[in-house]
Amino acid sequence: MGELFDTFEREAFRLETLADYSQSGNVDAYQAFLAGQPQPVDYNESWLSEVRAHTGRGKRIYRVHVLSRPLTPYLRFELGWGYCKNSTGGEEFFILDTTGQTNPLKDAEDFWLFDEGTAVVMHYDHAGAITGRETIPDGRAQEFVTIRDTALAHAEPFSAWWEKHGGT
């Protein structure tokens, strides 16, 4: 994954489908959030620096999170601490809210898609811990472009969604 982030030329897209990634990183920050502590000033600074470096060169990093309300504690953390902060570096976020409606991506897995040519499927266990990554042959990239396009067609910008539903 690190090499793909170092070498992508135009865009990196992420589809997130889980309500809980609490065992996949930022565990200490998540525990601080649950305890009601304020967000540290340097929270997620290494990712934010990477995002700024890419977006400063005109590259796009964006994601869609498929979710339903009410939000899990983890989603309140991820959206409230992560998305709000990371957007200051130029990362774009969209929400596909399936509350009360059919999920158009019900069988989609989490993945990253780089320059519409390389997809990496992310595998997680039931507790939200990453168990592996699978780089998909480039000949199948169009499948992931289609999923991305479907996600974006049904999603709304995070800032508008958050204004309506933040914390719910």
Strand-pair category, 118-124 with 111-114 = antiparallel
pLDDT at 54: 97
Instruction: Compute the chain's Rg from CA coordinates.
Output: 15
pLDDT at 167: 61
User: In angstroms, how far is the first alpha carbon of the chain from the final one?
Assistant: 33
pLDDT at 25: 81
pLDDT at 131: 96
Backbone conformation region of residue 36, classed left if phi is above 0, alpha if psi is from -120 to 50, else beta: left
Token reading at 129:
């811990």
Q: Do 70 and 98 contact (CB within 8 A), yes or no?
A: no
pLDDT at 168: 62
Considering only CA atoms, which of 103, 99, 82 is closest in space to residue 91?
82
Domain, as residue range, for 106? 2-165
pLDDT at 166: 82
pLDDT at 49: 95
% helix, strand, coil for the chain, step of 5: 40, 25, 35
CATH code, domain carrying 148: 3.30.870.10
pLDDT at 138: 87
Backbone conformation region of residue 148, classed left if phi is above 0, alpha if psi is from -120 to 50, else beta: alpha
Backbone conformation region of residue 83, classed left if phi is above 0, alpha if psi is from -120 to 50, else beta: alpha
> What is the reported pTM?
0.95
Structurally, the chain folds into a number of domains equal to: 1
pLDDT in tens, the chain (168 residues): 889 999 999 999 999 999 999 988 888 999 999 999 999 988 889 999 999 999 999 999 999 999 999 999 999 999 999 999 999 999 999 999 999 999 999 899 999 999 999 999 999 998 889 999 999 998 999 999 999 999 999 999 999 999 999 866
pLDDT at 132: 96
20 pairs with which residues across the strands? none
